[in-house]
Amino acid sequence: MTAVAAKYDALKKMDVEVLAISTDSRFTHKMWQQHELKKMIEGGVPYPMLSDAGGRIGKVYGVYEEMAGVNIRGRFIIDPDGVVQAMEVMTPAVGRNVAELIRQVKAFQHVRATGEATPSGWQPGKKTLKPSADLVGEVWKVWKPEMAF
């Protein structure tokens, strides 16, 4: 959460809204903010931390663990139309990559704006693909795996 908070200004400039949601109460969120998060990043987490008591939101997104009564950690990229474009759910022991989140948001925004496709590892300014019937079976001519790195 604090890694996302460290890049919050960059995300806001990209017109991204960040929300954190857990089954913890708002009082637990307040205590966490005061006793830990503010020690990790100045001012604490600047985006809303929402309480999902009972896991209703987590159930909708498939991350609510009924037996433990918690939402499994994950992230979702939801487009302006409310459509989930990407999700990542990982074991709590493995952290998520904020740079990859930002890359994916830029890729989704580029695709939305241009209709082009962004191949593996795409970064702004790198080659895109223009989907068409002529491209079917011909991607190998214009894109190579080493271009992903």
Of 99, 101, 98, 146, nearest in space to 126 by CA: 146
Domains in the chain: boundaries: 2-94, 115-148
Is it the case that residue 123 has pLDDT exceeding 90?
Answer: yes
Residue 128 burial (CB count, 10 A): 19
| pLDDT tens-digit readout, 98-109 | 999 999 999 999
| pLDDT tens-digit readout, 48-85 | 999 999 999 999 999 999 999 999 999 999 999 999 99
CATH class name, domain 2-94: alpha beta
Is it the case that residue 88 has pLDDT exceeding 90?
Answer: yes
Which band of pLDDT confidence, cut at 50, 70 and 90, is reported for residue 92?
confident
What was the pLDDT predicted at 91?
Answer: 87
